[in-house]
Structure 1
Amino acid sequence: MGVAEKIFFGLFLPSVWCKSFHISLPEKIEALSGSCVLIECAFEIEEKYDKDLTESAAGIWFKDNSKNPVFNSRTPSEKHFRGKLTGKIEEKNCTTIFYDVSSNHDGKYYFRIEGNGGLKYNYQKPDVTINVIDSPHNPTVKLYVDEKEVQSQQEVLEGSSVCLSCSAETLCSFPPATLTWSSTSRLPFSLQEKQNQTKLISHLNFTATPLQHTVTFTCTVTYQLQNNNKTAKESLMLHVQYSPKNTSVSVFPSDPVLEGSSVTLNCSSDANPAVINYAWYRDNGEELEQLLRQTGDTLIFNKVISTHRGWYYCRAQNQHGTQNSSVLLDVQYSPKNTSVSVFPSDPVLEGSSVTLNCSSDANPAVINYAWYRDNGEELEQLVRQTGDTLIFNKIISKQRGWYYCRAQNKHGTQNSTVMLDVQYIPQISTSSSCNITDVTMCLCEVDGNPSPIVEWHLSGRPVTNSTIMSISEERLSSTVLRSFITLHHSHTHTSSLLCVTTNTHGTAKKIFQLKQTASFQMDFPSLMIGAAVGATVMAILCITAHLYKKWICKTRREDKTGLVLSDGAVSQENDGESLYSNKVMLSHVGAANMNHTEMLHYSSFDFRNTKRESAEIRGVSSLTADYAVIRYCQTNGTR
């Protein structure tokens, strides 16, 4: 029943109502004991009394045709109901509120207006009936599915849009009445509330899921009174139909499953309506193979073998759909298919971060991983490395090589290997050097990954094999290469030889100094000491040579054969011309032919191959003799 069953607003429509005495009241109002009651009221008077209607006019209420008023807005009394005229009387609004409602307020009421002059009038018809109740009425809950009202017991299909609507009479209370929702399960939903003059309305919106099935939703209206609150509630249980959910497969007996034992797989599922069919499948690696002979919610292996190991699927079905569930039938065995992967994948650049990951198929799972490295002689265990990963935060070239992972469970072990191919820019070994004899031979040993190439540069230009020089290579390993170059004596006049090695990651160079003079000029203290020692030795040699030559000259006056002593150079009289002699003993024939027009004999001297401990060589180590000049000694001893 509504609070106000009928309200007339005709007084506000002058085109309909004539200017005469008239009042608009609700026919019936319900009031909650202990709260308040609000009487919506509007009146009209004859036009001639308009000047007498002011804000000082009195609004008076009478009850049950009594001649004694129960309320007077101008002169309130303790005998009157406690209340207030909330409308503006001068605007013909007589809305009134009574407080502390009790059973005494139950009855019929009419209104009287008293203004200035002759404005005095009783509006005995129509009157308003106030019905006082001790408890509020229960709210009304309705079910809407996809915006259409359905019966509360009707089942809702999963995925539908659901709205639960709750409405309750407003009734007068301070603060105003409220509507609240509760459910037997905490669920997400959206709430919309609105209120009009007679109704409180709240909408609960959500999408139907299996979670709402058999959940009870309760709407409660609460009126806050001065002494206590009064409530009323209404509930609705939701029924949702849905396809199979929470399908699962269990294994009996539980793991471990040993080969040869009996095993049962059991399938269960939650559905509304209940599951009408179960089907079993096995994953054969390419597709799901249906086990046609297996029906019902159980799959039995009387004697399981290792080939039965794998994934098994149960499919549950009802009229709204299907759902699968899978289980791994795990037959135990030692590690298999062990492998090591490199991240990032090859090639691995020196200085980068590298992770080796070891994986293995085992049942039960691998309990221990061990890492080893092949150091060329044996497998060296990396004691500090445990777990299925081996991490190099900043890898270097020396860490290149074969790595082994050993996976172990209680049934056995299995190894797997991987080549960690660390790539780096070429490096030239310190053993690279030159050996200078009659020919110059240089060795350039390089190490790089990918394997580098070697080029030789002479006088700033690359050189190749030719008749005057030869280049050969020797590969020591997949990363180490030796290159040899042989230069004939005529090409050693240049000061430097350059070895250039290159791979995809960079280039390295090394300069070889070919001239000894250039190398000795770099050592100034040795040069000064050598010069001092050389000067001393030369002085001694000059004195000795002077005495020796006098003796030779004397001998020549007696012996005219012109023989030259071995390892020595003598001068002979020959019309004042010089004789250039190889350091060999002249024969008698040679002495007899000294007057031959071709008087020059050239000899090259290479002091670089002499022993360093020779003081004479150290003293003149910076000098290079290309030829020697020998003059005849005159009979009087002059040169």
Structure 2
Amino acid sequence: MTVDKDTIDRFKLVGMIQNHDCTLRIDDAKKTDHGKYFFRIEGINHFMFSYKEPISTEPFVNVTDLWELPELSLSRVPVAETPMNITCTAPGRCTGTTPIFAWTGTLNRANSTFNTSSVNRDRTVTHASTITFTPSTGDQNKILTCEVYYPAVRASIQATLSLNMQFGPRSGDTNNATCNSDPHQTKCSCVIQSNPPPVIWWLINEELVTKNVRNDTMQVSSTIHGHTGTSNLTLRGSRSRIACISSNAHGVLFVDLTQKSENEDIIIEAISGNGTPLV
């Protein structure tokens, strides 16, 4: 029997004939494999028999273009300054030529990648690639792309994701936290960015103000827009010791707005979610 050289090592009878199982597996399927198949036995003494029952033994193989995307999975929610992995799993469970992975993107810091292959119970193989990196707040909305290339059939497919970074409260520059006083009142403003959005409080002398207030001596108004929280404080009378405090799951920011002299800087202290000073 003449065997088409293009099918050698790709067409494999994986069923146990003695168990009446004539399962055929096609590795690195090509468009030229498209068509109807039937099972034929050839033995010694010119013995030949073809199974040509149209319904049960003549399957039609339809080879399509790649359509299933690689699967991207994150080891954790992206948090600034916290190492993480993103794994790209090739579509399907293959038995042919190992695919080639390529990561592209504009991460702010160096990264490393490694590939893995795991054999499944049905003897197929799952291929994956993992990228390891430590994201920063500058990676917000950065795009990462994983491309999977199948060299045997010269086809590729890719999947992308946008990094939604989480980070602790930050005030940007000191212009985002200010206080101005006159003989009658003190007006303060505190603008904080974080993801998840921040909760903002005011510490006035020894009193902690945790919600919006409007009375004869004080007015506090706080709003959230996206990842930015803004809180405004108006206080009647002489200037007091005032601090703006903000927190979320990833840290606490303390901004001391009490200036003891015109040349003294505003004090900003940030604590991460595990108690580590950030600035």
- Class of the TM-score when normalised by the shorter of the 2 chains: 0.5 to 0.7
Q: Deviations over 1:442-495 (max 9, x none)?
A: 222222232220001111102342233322334353x3322221223x142x2x
The partner residue of 1:369 within 91, 99, 102 is: 102
CA distance in 2 between counterparts of 1:342 and 1:389 reads 10
What does residue range 40-55 of structure 1 map to in structure 2 within 5 Å?
none
Q: Does 1:337 align with 2:95?
A: no
After superposition, the Cα gap between the structure-2 partners of 1:398 and 1:332, relative to the gap in structure 1 and judged at 3 Å, is: same
CA distance in 2 between counterparts of 1:253 and 1:416 reads 23
Task: State the match for 2:181 in structure 1.
Answer: 436
CA distance in 2 between counterparts of 1:356 and 1:253 reads 28
What letter corresponds to residue 433 of structure 1 in structure 2?
A: T
Task: State the match for 1:359 in structure 2.
Answer: 89
Q: Does 1:501 align with 2:246?
A: yes
TM-score by length of 2: 0.58
Deviation at 1:340, TM superposition (A): 1.3
Deviation at 1:332, TM superposition (A): 5.2
RCO comparison, higher one (Cα < 8 Å, 6+): 2
What does residue range 146-157 of structure 1 map to in structure 2 within 5 Å?
none
SS of 1:258 mapped into structure 2: helix
**Higher helix content, 1 or 2:** 1
Give the alignment's Cα RMSD to 1 decimal. 4.3
After superposition, the Cα gap between the structure-2 partners of 1:253 and 1:436, relative to the gap in structure 1 and judged at 3 Å, is: closer
SS of 2:138 mapped into structure 1: helix
CA distance in 2 between counterparts of 1:474 and 1:253 reads 59
CA distance in 2 between counterparts of 1:338 and 1:253 reads 19
Deviation at 1:424, TM superposition (A): 3.3
Task: State the match for 2:232 in structure 1.
Answer: 484
The partner residue of 1:391 within 108, 124, 132 is: 132
After superposition, the Cα gap between the structure-2 partners of 1:391 and 1:435, relative to the gap in structure 1 and judged at 3 Å, is: same
Q: Does 1:519 align with 2:254?
A: no
Task: State the match for 2:32 in structure 1.
Answer: 258
How many residue pairs get aligned? The number is 213
Task: State the match for 2:122 in structure 1.
Answer: none
What letter corresponds to residue 230 of structure 2 in structure 1?
A: R
Q: Deviations over 1:128-173 (max 9, x none)?
A: xxxxxxxxxxxxxxxxxxxxxxxxxxxxxxxxxxxxxxxxxxxxxx
Q: Deviations over 1:499-518 (max 9, x none)?
A: 1112123322111125xxx3
* Structure 1 alignment gaps of length 5 or more: 1-242, 268-290, 306-330, 524-639
CA distance in 2 between counterparts of 1:335 and 1:469 reads 62
TM-score by length of 1: 0.28
* Structure 2 alignment gaps of length 5 or more: 1-16, 42-52, 116-128, 266-279
What does residue range 32-71 of structure 1 map to in structure 2 within 5 Å?
none
The partner residue of 1:403 within 133, 143, 146 is: 143
The partner residue of 1:426 within 169, 176, 182 is: 169
CA distance in 2 between counterparts of 1:253 and 1:520 reads 76
What does residue range 46-445 of structure 1 map to in structure 2 within 5 Å?
249-250=23-24, 255-256=29-30, 258=32, 260-264=34-38, 293-294=55-56, 299-301=57-59, 303-305=60-62, 331=63, 333-343=65-75, 345=76, 347-361=77-91, 366-372=99-105, 388-392=129-133, 394-409=134-149, 414-430=157-173, 431=175, 432-437=177-182, 439-445=185-191
What letter corresponds to residue 86 of structure 2 in structure 1?
A: L
What letter corresponds to residue 484 of structure 1 in structure 2?
A: N
SS of 1:340 mapped into structure 2: strand
Q: Does 1:469 align with 2:227?
A: no
What letter corresponds to residue 72 of structure 2 in structure 1?
A: V
What letter corresponds to residue 487 of structure 1 in structure 2?
A: L
CA distance in 2 between counterparts of 1:522 and 1:254 reads 71
Task: State the match for 1:48 in structure 2.
Answer: none
Task: State the match for 1:605 in structure 2.
Answer: none
**Is the CA contact 2:141–2:164 (under 8 Å) kept in the aligned structure 1?**
yes
**Is the CA contact 1:355–1:391 (under 8 Å) kept in the aligned structure 2?**
yes
SS of 2:261 mapped into structure 1: helix
CA distance in 2 between counterparts of 1:386 and 1:520 reads 55
**Is the CA contact 1:333–1:411 (under 8 Å) kept in the aligned structure 2?**
no
**Is the CA contact 1:335–1:360 (under 8 Å) kept in the aligned structure 2?**
no
SS of 1:451 mapped into structure 2: coil
CA distance in 1 between counterparts of 2:159 and 2:247 reads 34
**Is the CA contact 2:142–2:162 (under 8 Å) kept in the aligned structure 1?**
yes
